[in-house]
A and B are shown apart, each in its own frame.
Chain A
Amino acid sequence: MSETSHGIGGLSFDAKKRAWPNEMNVFIALIAIIVIFEILGQVLPYMKGQSLLFDFNTNRDGTILNMVRLKIIILQVSIIGIIAIGSTQVIISGGIDLSPGSIVGLTAMVAMSFAQTALVNGNPNPKAIFGEAWMDLPVIVPIVVAIAVGTFAGLVNGLLVAYTRIPPFIATLGMMVAARGAAKWWSKGQPISFPTEPFGAIGNGMSGWSPVVIFIGLAILFHFILKYTVYGKHTYAIGSNEDAARMSGIKVDRHKVLVYTIAGILAGLSALVLASKNLTAQAGMGVMYELDAIAMTVIGGVSLAGGRGSIVGTVLGALIFGVIISGFTYLRLDAYYQEMVKGVIIVAAVVLDQWRRQRAAARA
């Protein structure tokens, strides 16, 4: 790929040249999947020429895009997408995190307890957790609480992974079970509802787009952090070759604690948006979210072996995920097929990653 690089005095180097970015492949896959759905829309007789993303006939809002479906696609992946931003960092660092779904459940319960309003339609809040003094608090309180719970859970994960010899898979599996238990214990299994209006705005504001805005905002922030800061460089380095990172003086253990803590915070933020959007919190919230998040990252080209991947890839992976789910609804296929195809896609993405790694290893 570098035949054209120029030489200086027998040395040849080229500072500008970069390899074909893997994100491009993911993007092409996204386009290909959309095209397949569009073709199926035209070909399958019962679809009567419907389109997944375009809206040629009823041009309601002056665009040829079907904005309603586009919004659904992005909205339905935003909340898990926030988790996937954390999973991306954990997996790049060579780890895995199975706990975010449960952290979402626990955080939603605890945060919602500090977001309740005293009066519902003039009557006392039927789901009240604490006394009146703890109601109608400023919205910053549940936000801080959510971040604190996420931080705590992530910190415990990080400390377990970094300072015990427990593999991340097991350490975070423990957190997955424990946090779910804590979520159920918190209100003895009762849902917690009726938040204040400002709290409800977190996940419902900006005419329903706010989860998307929060997701994309966090994605941009962490894209920048991973690409342009020492933290990001060390995350890749640890996932790429942990011994090399250690020999180079990177404080690997401390760094891992930070990575898992950030993943915990992102799970907490995801819970905040979810609880707000639903205006209620239940102990069962977020079940299996971690697997969807991992699927998004893997589809987006993050290698489960560590060292490889990006936030841009994960965002594209999340969109592929969203398009497939919406595509199945649009083709009026049963939800069972969705789950099955999701499974197939995850395995395919992992196989692809393995194959890519073997090729790289064979070249060396």
Chain B
Amino acid sequence: MTNDIILETRDLTKHYGGVHALQGANFTLRKGEHVAIMGDNGAGKSTFVRQITGVEQRTRGDVIFDGKPVHFENPMDARNAGIETVFQTLALADQLDVPDNLFLGRELVKFKLGPFSILDYKAMRERTMGALEKTGVKIPNIRGTIERMSGGQRQCVAIARTATFHSKLTIMDEPTAALGVQETAQVENIIRTLKEAGEPLILISHNMRQVMDLCDRIVVFRRGRICANLDIKNNDITGEDVVAYITGAKTQPEYADAA
């Protein structure tokens, strides 16, 4: 049973000085599973993601990814290991175009020469077009710079970036927070594509309908602790139940110390 677990955290904890942003998080994710993380603002959701993806170094605890304990030094390490992340603050370079951003930090090169390796623009453009087609993202002109795009288009570029590269795990931190109806639908389609491809996902979202539609399970964070683990596919759990856990009206017995 253990070998179908793609990600596990044990006692994952992060303190910022006196701020206990994340406390003893025990979390598991199975291969192919789509799990939502919910919780109020400041509950520690993004902090949890940052400890897994090497953006920050954890105070204590273990992260076991794909069967091995890991300790990523930086986001690139995590990405090389197969974790693709859409961060809450978009990691896009405004003055660069779509292919540049998709391949930022992992450019395709024609000719290797250390930092002076020659870029393969054509291959990057073609793969970008492929990725956009695959994900159904509409961008009028991929060679326009990001700064000329709407917030929704930017978000789509950031998400297309994670979908371009085959990954063992995708993490999205509030990917549709700033999006209109159509763009949200596009992003949700990308997420369904991932589900069909059997790629596991951690989705942080405040959107109850979206989470209910897309995910197998909801993990609720409250004040830095996990307070519920809800199997929404197999149990009859309503939005009101989830809200009760988020606000603290309810706590699952096994997480009683989190209350």
Contact = CB atoms under 8 A, between A and B. Distances in A.
Interface stretch (B7-15, B22-30, B103-111, B196-204): B103-111
A2 B74 CA distance: 38
B231 interface: no
B93 A236 contact: yes
Nearest to B144: A19
Contacts of A207: none
Contact of B116 (A231, A239, A245): A231
Contact of B138 (A11, A246, A361): A11
Contacts of A229: 113, 115-119
Interface string A237-254: 101110111111110000
B140 A360 contact: no
A310 to B, nearest CB: 11
A10 interface: yes
B93 A307 contact: yes
A8 B129 CA distance: 11
Contacts of B118: 228-229
Contacts of A1: 141
Given A225-B116, A241-B92, A13 B132 contact: yes
A256 interface: no
A15 B106 CA distance: 20
A308 interface: yes
A249 B94 CA distance: 17
B150 A230 contact: no
Main SS class of interface, B: loop
Interface size class of B (residues with CB under 8 A): 35 or more
B104 A237 contact: yes
B90 A360 contact: no
Interface size class of A (residues with CB under 8 A): 35 or more
Given A13-B132, A249-B74, A244 B143 contact: no
Given A229-B115, A249-B74, A5 B140 contact: yes
B214 interface: no
B138 A2 contact: no
B141 A13 contact: yes
A363 interface: yes
Contacts of B241: none
Given A229-B116, A240-B94, A360-B147, A245 B141 contact: no
Contacts of B100: 233, 236-237
A247 to B, nearest CB: 4
B115 A231 contact: yes
A284 B97 CA distance: 44
B42 interface: no
B40 interface: no
A246 B145 CA distance: 19
Contacts of B139: 13
Contact of B94 (A10, A231, A241): A241
A236 B147 CA distance: 14
Contacts of B95: 236, 239-240, 307-308
A228 to B, nearest CB: 6
Nearest to B74: A249
Contacts of A14: 140-143
A42 interface: no
Contact of A230 (B79, B96, B116): B116
A258 interface: yes
26 contacts: A2-B141, A5-B140, A11-B133, A13-B129, A13-B132, A14-B142, A17-B143, A17-B144, A19-B148, A230-B107, A230-B115, A230-B116, A231-B115, A233-B107, A237-B104, A240-B96, A244-B92, A246-B74, A248-B75, A248-B91, A248-B106, A250-B105, A307-B95, A363-B147, A364-B147, A364-B148
In the complex, the 8 A-B pairs of residues with the closest C-beta atoms, listed nearest first: A249-B76, A248-B105, A240-B93, A307-B95, A249-B105, A247-B91, A244-B91, A248-B104
Interface of B: 55, 74-76, 79, 87, 89-96, 100, 104-107, 109, 113, 115-119, 121, 125, 129, 132-133, 136, 138-145, 147-151
